[in-house]
Chains A and B, each alone.
Chain A
Amino acid sequence: MIMALYRLTGRLCRAVSQTRSLGTAAVEAEPPASGTRAIFRTVQQDPAHHSEQDLGQYYTLPPDHVCSVFPHGLPRHFQLQMKTFNETCVMVREPALELISHLKKADYSKPALRYLLYGVTGTGKTMTLCHALHYCSTQGWVVVHIPDAHLWVKNCKELIPSSYNSSRLDQPILASQWLKNFGITNKHFLSKIKTTKTYMWTKRESTEEGQPLGELLEKGLTRIKSSSDVMGALLRELRLQCSKPQDEGSGAFRLVVAVDGVNALWGRTTLRRENKNKVEPEELTVVQNLRKMLKNDWCGGAIITSLSQSGSLFTPRLAYLPHELLGKEGFDSLDPFIPVPVPGYSEKEFESCYQYYIDRKWLQHSQSHTEEGKKELIFLSNRNPAVFEKLCAAL
């Protein structure tokens, strides 16, 4: 019955049939050519035009988009998959479509809306976030993407006391890496946005007012010691200039702040000072700056966040609800937000994923192509995307 539904939607979409190129990125809608389109791939490659018709189907991201929008954004297992299959395919799912429709219809003269993606481990929250970010990037927004906030509160080798505020700690290497990736993602905005205030990094170094953001970035990359402060300044500039109405020359731009694993900002850290005292997240400059960004006191953009238990510290393994992972303090700071639940695969989505793996030669075991094998896979994975991927890896 599911296959019949698929054939029906396939016939409806066959108005513009597209040749499936092996190994390279799919081209935009072409005149009807020979070769049939696979049932699990969608014609529409632009995330702005994805609709309910494309639910459960895969769309391909062109390689140059991937390099520019996600220099550090995609999860590790997805990067391996990209390398193996020689293409980047993301499934269009309901939470992502919901998020994108909210982004399209929101009023950007009001304060920024906060969206929170939550769900059990492995259901696809990070991939939904990446889908929404791809949409924002194609619409020309400025993207501030923190791929995993948990990496900032654990395993940091270099903690130096901040020059700006003596009670806080800086993380120079982390901040400089992030600045580099930010530069890659938002290359075209670096010359357009100008600073509004003079910043003194040390007694001898400063950045004047009216300098383009590219200068700020370079300062952060060359002087690694003050890179955390540079990051704070950059975020402040973006926040101020985004809220201003259309200005002469600077041009209105929309800002999207995407944070994955936002529960790290209000949890506990495993970092310790040199005198072996524990470090709270408030004492880290980068966390403090990010918390300011997540407050909805600026307008002209959106804040998309997602919870994550898998990298978090001192949280029970089965916790996934916002209140459990954020704690009272985090929940109150993020309140009010729009919660977006991310469930596991539905029957149609599972079928689509299964066909995709067979097509890409990933499911090789002879028994996995049979009905019995498929039933066993559904039973073992309970339609959880991450568990299904892990099972298929060995088959």
Chain B
Amino acid sequence: MAAFTATLLKPWTPRVLQIRWSRYNPYYLEPEPRKEVYSTPETELTPEQLKERELKSVRPIKAAPPVVHSSVFSDPMISKFINMMMKGGNKILARNIMLQTLENIKRKQVEKYHKAPDAEKAGIECNPYVIFHQALANCKPVIGLVTIQRGSRHYQVPTPLTDNRQRFVAMKWMIAECRENKHRRTLMDEKLAQELLAAFANKGPVVKKKFELHKMAEANRAFAHYRWW
């Protein structure tokens, strides 16, 4: 009984300590990840920038979020893709899968390059980043469908999609395809590499899904007037 009351009186500490908060006191300053800002000498700065620098030596600074990079190799699209693949906050695993996927793509292409005769070498793309961006660009739908209610009926109305929405839909389709339609024993990075290479060549299930969406939008062309924005 005494031991139990002792645990109640103990100062409570949370089990998981947050390192990066999202709610900060207003006097915390933003972190600066760019290297050029630190390498400019004092003579080239405007008076406001000088004042900011002085402030930085006095005020505390917020913790940098994991999205922010100072590396020259960071790519925002790849970071977004990793975040979408992440499950349960396991960014390490998601990032490793992504890096392994890029390695797999590069290996396949470089092997093909070295075995191909000289005439075909120029046509083989070996850069996994170029392949990734092109594959996602090939998967982006130009037009989407929105459900609008008129009376008691619901109509699928074709609408233009914003850039962000297009990118999100392409990535979502890619990840969903790789998660659902693979053999139990294939690993995610192998399947992703296969699908990205297929999408780069405008083949494969994800590009097919995009074309089907375009066809549906074409078929429902008559309802385009129901859109008021």
Q: Are the C-beta atoms of A373 and B99 separated by less than 8 Å?
A: no
Q: Are the C-beta atoms of B71 and A84 separated by less than 8 Å?
A: no
CA distance A298 to B126 in the complex (A): 53
Known: A373-B72, A393-B103. A365 touches B129 (CB 8 A): yes
Q: How far is the CB of A360 from chain B (nearest CB, A)?
A: 7
Q: Are the C-beta atoms of A364 and B126 separated by less than 8 Å?
A: yes
Q: Are the C-beta atoms of A364 and B106 separated by less than 8 Å?
A: yes
Q: How far is the CB of A358 from chain B (nearest CB, A)?
A: 12
Q: Are the C-beta atoms of A394 and B102 separated by less than 8 Å?
A: yes
Is B127 part of the contact surface with A, judged by Cβ < 8 Å?
Answer: yes
Chain B residue with Cβ nearest A377: B73
Known: A364-B128, A364-B129, A365-B127. A86 touches B111 (CB 8 A): yes
CA distance A361 to B111 in the complex (A): 10
Residues of A within 8 A of B129 (CB): 364-366
Q: Are the C-beta atoms of A84 and B73 separated by less than 8 Å?
A: no
Give the number of residues in A that approach B within 8 Å (Cβ atoms). 23
CA distance A333 to B168 in the complex (A): 63
Map CB proximity to A onto B56-84 as digits: 1 under 8 Å, 0 otherwise. 00000000000000011100000000000
Q: Are the C-beta atoms of A83 and B127 separated by less than 8 Å?
A: no
Chain A residue with Cβ nearest B71: A376
CA distance A316 to B72 in the complex (A): 34
Is B211 part of the contact surface with A, judged by Cβ < 8 Å?
Answer: no
CA distance A149 to B71 in the complex (A): 40
CA distance A145 to B110 in the complex (A): 32
Residues of A within 8 A of B113 (CB): 361
Residues of A within 8 A of B73 (CB): 365, 367-368, 373, 376, 395
Residues of A within 8 A of B128 (CB): 364
Known: A85-B110, A361-B113, A367-B73. A394 touches B126 (CB 8 A): no
Contact partner of A84 (CB less than 8 A), chosen from B100, B111, B127, is: B111
Residues of B within 8 A of A373 (CB): 72-73
A:84-139 near B, CB below 8 Å: 84-87
Q: Are the C-beta atoms of B103 and A394 separated by less than 8 Å?
A: yes
Map CB proximity to A onto B110-152 as digits: 1 under 8 Å, 0 otherwise. 1101110010000000111100000000000000000000000
Q: Are the C-beta atoms of A372 and B72 separated by less than 8 Å?
A: yes
A:323-381 near B, CB below 8 Å: 360-362, 364-368, 370, 372-373, 376
Q: How far is the CB of A26 from chain B (nearest CB, A)?
A: 14
Is B53 part of the contact surface with A, judged by Cβ < 8 Å?
Answer: no
Chain A residue with Cβ nearest B104: A393
Is A23 part of the contact surface with B, judged by Cβ < 8 Å?
Answer: yes
CA distance A17 to B94 in the complex (A): 48
Q: How far is the CB of A127 from chain B (nearest CB, A)?
A: 20
Residues of A within 8 A of B111 (CB): 83-84, 86
Residues of B within 8 A of A12 (CB): none
Q: Are the C-beta atoms of A362 and B110 separated by less than 8 Å?
A: yes
Residues of B within 8 A of A364 (CB): 106, 126-129
Is B215 part of the contact surface with A, judged by Cβ < 8 Å?
Answer: no
Is B107 part of the contact surface with A, judged by Cβ < 8 Å?
Answer: yes
CA distance A86 to B110 in the complex (A): 9
Residues of B within 8 A of A368 (CB): 73
Q: Are the C-beta atoms of A361 and B72 separated by less than 8 Å?
A: no
Contact partner of A362 (CB less than 8 A), chosen from B100, B102, B106, is: B106
Residues of A within 8 A of B114 (CB): 22-23, 84-87, 360-361
Q: How far is the CB of A362 from chain B (nearest CB, A)?
A: 7
CA distance A23 to B129 in the complex (A): 25
Q: How far is the CB of A175 from chain B (nearest CB, A)?
A: 31
Chain B residue with Cβ nearest A364: B127
Q: Are the C-beta atoms of B72 and A84 separated by less than 8 Å?
A: no
CA distance A86 to B111 in the complex (A): 7
CA distance A80 to B100 in the complex (A): 14
CA distance A394 to B102 in the complex (A): 6
CA distance A228 to B103 in the complex (A): 40
CA distance A23 to B118 in the complex (A): 11
The 3 closest A-B CB pairs, nearest first, are A394-B99, A86-B114, A364-B127
What are 29 A-B contacts with C-beta separation under 8 Å?
A: A22-B114, A22-B118, A23-B114, A23-B115, A83-B111, A84-B107, A84-B110, A86-B111, A86-B114, A86-B115, A87-B114, A360-B114, A361-B110, A361-B113, A361-B114, A364-B127, A364-B129, A365-B73, A365-B129, A366-B127, A367-B72, A367-B73, A368-B73, A373-B72, A373-B73, A376-B71, A376-B72, A376-B73, A393-B99
Report which A residues bind B (CB closer than 8 A): 22-23, 80, 83-87, 360-362, 364-368, 370, 372-373, 376, 393-395
Report which B residues bind A (CB closer than 8 A): 71-73, 99-100, 102-103, 106-107, 110-111, 113-115, 118, 126-129
